[in-house]
Structure 1
Amino acid sequence: MTRSNLIGGEMLNWSDLRPGDARPAAAGPAAGALLAATLTADDTVLLAGPHAVELVSAVAAQVASVDLLVRSAPDAEELAELLDDVKGQVFCGSVDRFAADDKSGVGDGYDVLVALDGLERLVGPDTAGFSWADGLARLTGLLKPGGRLLLGATNAFGFERLVQPDITAALPRDEDWGRDVADRAPAGFKPLVTALRTAGFDNEVAYAVFPSLVQAEVAVTSVEGFAAVVAARAVAARNEGPVLMDPYRVVLDAAAAGLAFELAPAWYFVVGAAAPATLPEGVVPEGEGVLLEEHLLTALRSDDQATLRRTIPSYVAWLGTGGAGSPDNVILDGSAYRLFGDAQELDVVGHLRRFAQRALDSGSRQPWPAAADPHALTARLAAMAGITVPEQEFSPDEVVRPRGSAEQLATVARLADELAHASARAILFEGTVSGIRRSRPYRVGHAVLNPARVIRRRLKRVLRKVRRR
């Protein structure tokens, strides 16, 4: 029977599984895929820190025995009941109180140590001066020689810092009591790797995790190509409200600059275990090519209308043969197209309209000033493939503003510049026309080309003089 053992430093009126004002436990399909890929049926495992109930259940069903180390007393009781038929124990308290002789049934140590939530939530508020490095040393001392480590870490300067404008997110939560900076994970990927090497680990495999440790949708060893698109989608889905910059474009631009891995919201480190390059498996497509949306946006930004007029008809023809994907989930490989993700039940105009909407959302430069709303841009793109989009009454709802504040400001600046140039041209044109009208050649030509009007005006003058007499 599984038991809950109080070891000291436990939090009696607190829950990491169901927090009121704190982040939830580590979870997500990428976390589950990592555990499934690295654990074996003969393993003895220590699961340290808050992990979602489904992850705990998956580990318990996969290994020989599993012990849990959590700081929340209510969580410990709940997990003890969950693991009633599993070989192992639940330890409740802070990691600094967890001694080697507390574990039972694991001989000289555990085969695998799992801490996908990181190390910060392995201590409570009454533990002071216990650094992140101390926590790592304490846990790794519980591993067998040659044991495996699965460790998560949150990035202190990830994409969230670049795209999230909500200042309330920076306010301290209930769990953010005053702690020394050393109690947190080293800031940055390279310092984390250095800390692991200092602790005696090497040959680690690192994953960039998106969009967070508590919502790990995907983890990849390299944020390039289509993996960057998958990561960008995960980050954009997490930031649906007002943002400083468009999350989707920020991730793709960072990937193009080779910075997306270092700016990832979090990382997994796997030491001593073989694991696939992408978690969960199969989310990143294989093969060559480029996302059709990126190809078209590049053409828009550079006013490459030849590419647009060549690609749009080809894409529409592909849709006519049974293709069912919008440009944001279709891969262009030379002149061939293939689906990236789920099929979308839209007609041809619907697919083009989706691209127009996303292009305007991203604040991408448009080569046509008149195409300022989705309908106008859709109609122009459809016309390149010989498709006429029915006219619609203009609605204010049709106007699309870029998602990010930075893109909005850039768009305002661009439109103001275009308006200033247009006003200057209008003033110049008006002055030119006025000068032409005052010139003798214009008056002579006007008299020659409009004799009836000239005679009529002169007759009116003569008649006015006669009446006055």
Structure 2
Amino acid sequence: MSESASGVQVVRGEMQPWTDRTTPRPALAALLTDVVPANRRTLILGPHAPQLIESVLAHSSDVTILVRSVADAGQLGEDFGPCLQVIAGALDGLQTEPYDVIIATDGLDRVLGYDSADLSWTERLAALAALAAPDAVVVLGLENEFSLLNLLDSRPADERHGDDEWRPLHDDPTRPVSVEQLRSALPWASEVYADFGSRTFVRADVAATSRPGELATRLAGAALETVDVPLLSPAAEGVDTAARADLLAAIPTGWLAIVGAQPPHDLYTQAATTTLTATQTLTGWDTTTPADATPASVGSLSFDPSVVPATIPSGVSVESVLFRLASAEDVPAFRKLAAELGEWVTTSRVIVRWDDVIYDGDSFAFGVSGWVAEDSVEKEDLLAAAWARFHDRLIGQHRRHPWPPWMLGDDLISAWLGMSGVEAPEQTQATSPDSPPATTEQVACGKEFAAALDAALESTTTKVDVRTALAEAEEAKQELFELKGHVYGLERTLGFRNKAMKTRENRIRELRGQLQRLTTAHERIRGSRTYAVSRVIFHAAQVRKPKVVARKLARRIRKR
């Protein structure tokens, strides 16, 4: 082992120039805080985010980190100084005394260098076990090759990992691909957590028994929705299907095996800038938030940990029930549930979302969503926001429903609001052709709250997967065909009208010519002497008393 000029120790297998990317994982940091013992000799194996390193340094006084990148090692040495011993090199090049704690949450994929031997996953695990004391606490991560996102990834296999990450273990027959295989491969008894997008960690035994619409399933699906991976189909549908088949613990993005320690909670999930923990009980879940958690603002909304209930009853989400009723075309039951929701919702700061409202068959309860508005929101606006979000998820996921395909947007949201007991406002007379109807004005505020909530949740539901793109392309093709037929009909109508107008134009020209000829003949007749004589005769014929006329003429002649 040698030491560089920057104070970083170097062992065999270092890589330069190179850097391994890391991302913050607040939920994992909270989990490490619960399992890492205090004042123990600790080894952090592989690249880890600075937040994770800080959480370990807060408990241990003697911490060593091994990274294969010399550039990363130098940066860590500058950031943490003498409180962190940094070693650059490969796992097979490290020879030292056993450690009391080994943290390898990044797994064993990025622990070897260019010059290292081609070790399989089990051989790397053996090298890690050689560095662990008999009673050591080991935290080991493993990427799941059978994860739902990996199965639905639309990219070819050769494009999923670029040159910026050197991972030669993508095809290793000794690599575990299930919870049971991971437990069998480890030389110690372990507790395994399912890692969903590094945002939610659920105990594997709890995840295996979770059903669609329950808390663990909802949080797992929400975590996978935030992962930026081009998919063939929506991940939410696969999560629910796996939960029905008791396979939720088999499809996460990875697993986290914990040896020598027992985490106190069954679930860790990232919520805004804090981490919520929950423990399953016989009647539901007991939730806790950090004592120093403070509200975090995202746009017009903020996450307030104080509004998260300390106890959440068992049950499924209202959204799951509504999806089921809509798919079964059970409109009476849907209407009844909507009416009960309208009676339950009251004026509050908490933004209501049906995917986080618990329904146990008799009553409703809030879930772990603590997003609130600045001021109290009226009941009608909360219902409009909840139904607007439900509309986007129902229509956006192309789920079956009993309403006509042309009844979308504000009309459908207004219908659901009516089911919840919110009367539609009176129709106002439009002042211009662009004036929106009253229904649009009614749900506008609710749609703003729903959009703000989606932005705060970092939801990627707007990202189009391949199946949705194909469905939308087929709909666009059908619409284009119908529009072509409509255009053809309009063209024929315009053609017929054009011919009729030409016929009328020719007839008008003929009538104008006849009129001109008749006018000329009439003027010629009026200028003739015959016409003048006829006019005299005409006026003479109008005289009824010739003797009176004769006396008047004689009198006028005498005067002249």
Aligned to 1:191: 181
Equivalent position to 2:370, from 339, 342, 350: 342
Aligned to 2:503: none
Tell me what 2:68 maps to. 71
Q: Which runs of 5+ in 1 are unaligned?
A: 17-23, 104-108, 394-399, 418-469
Instruction: Identify the match of residue 91 of structure 2 among 78, 88, 95.
Output: 95
> Please, which of 265, 269, 287 is the counterpart of residue 257 of structure 2?
269
Q: Deviations over 1:2-28 (max 9, x none)?
A: 941111111121111xxxxxxx22640
1:116/1:305 CA distance change after superposition, 3 Å:
same
Deviation at 1:128, TM superposition (A): 3.1
- Provide the aligned length of Structure 1 versus Structure 2: 387
> Secondary structure in 2 aligned to 1:151?
strand
Question: TM-score of the superposition, structure 2-length normalised?
Answer: 0.63
> Paired residue for 1:219?
201
The answer on whether the counterparts of 1:210 and 1:218 sit within 8 Å (CA) in structure 2 is yes
TM-score (norm. length: structure 1): 0.75
Per the alignment, in what secondary structure is the counterpart of residue 139 of structure 1? Answer: helix
Q: In structure 2, what is the Cα distance between the partners aligned to 1:143 and 1:402?
A: 44
Whole-angstrom distance in 2 between the partners of 1:61 and 1:343: 30
Give secondary structure in 2 for the equivalent of 1:147: strand
1:201 aligns with 2:236: no
The SS at the match of 1:311 is helix
Matched, 1:376 2:376: no
Picking from 148, 155, 172, the partner of 2:162 is 172
Deviation at 1:82, TM superposition (A): 3.0
Tell me: higher relative CO, structure 1 or 2? Use CA pairs within 8 A at least 6 residues apart: 1
- SS in structure 2 of the partner of residue 120 of structure 1: coil
Q: Secondary structure at the match of 1:122?
A: coil
Q: Deviations over 1:386-409 (max 9, x none)?
A: 43273459xxxxxx9995443566
1:289 alignment partner AA: G
Q: How big is the alpha-carbon RMSD for the aligned residues of Structure 1 and Structure 2?
A: 3.1
Specify the code of the residue in structure 1 equivalent to 2:338.
I
Matched, 1:259 2:247: yes
| Cα distance in structure 2, aligned partners of 1:401 and 1:374 | 16
**Structure 2: runs of 5+ lacking an equivalent:** 270-274, 279-284, 286-311, 374-380, 426-437, 442-460, 479-560
In 1, the alpha carbon distance for the partners of 2:221 and 2:170 equals 33
Q: Which residue of 24, 29, 33 maps to 2:26?
A: 29
Aligned equivalent of 1:303? 329
What does 1:35-434 correspond to in 2, within 5 Å? 35-86=32-83, 89-100=85-96, 103=97, 109-167=98-156, 169-170=159-160, 172-176=162-166, 181-182=171-172, 185-196=175-186, 200-202=187-189, 204-211=190-197, 216-221=198-203, 222-223=206-207, 224=210, 225-239=214-228, 243-275=231-263, 276-280=265-269, 282-283=276-277, 286-322=312-348, 324-340=351-367, 341-343=369-371, 345=373, 346-370=381-405, 372-386=407-421, 387-388=423-424, 390-392=438-440, 403-406=464-467
1:41 is paired with a residue whose SS is: coil
Secondary structure of 1:126's partner? coil
Instruction: Give, in whole Å, the separation in 2 of the partners of 1:3 and 1:402.
Output: 46
The higher radius of gyration belongs to: 2
Q: After superposition, where does 1:427-446 map in structure 2 within 5 Å? A: none
Counting aligned pairs with the same residue, the percent is 27
> Is the contact between residue 325 and residue 344 of structure 1 (CA under 8 Å) also seen in structure 2?
no
Structure 1 265/411 Cα, relative in aligned 2: closer, same or farther at 3 Å?
A: same
Q: How far apart are the structure 2 equivalents of 1:66 and 1:27?
A: 19
Corresponding residue SS for 1:261: helix
Q: What amino acid is the match of 1:201?
A: W
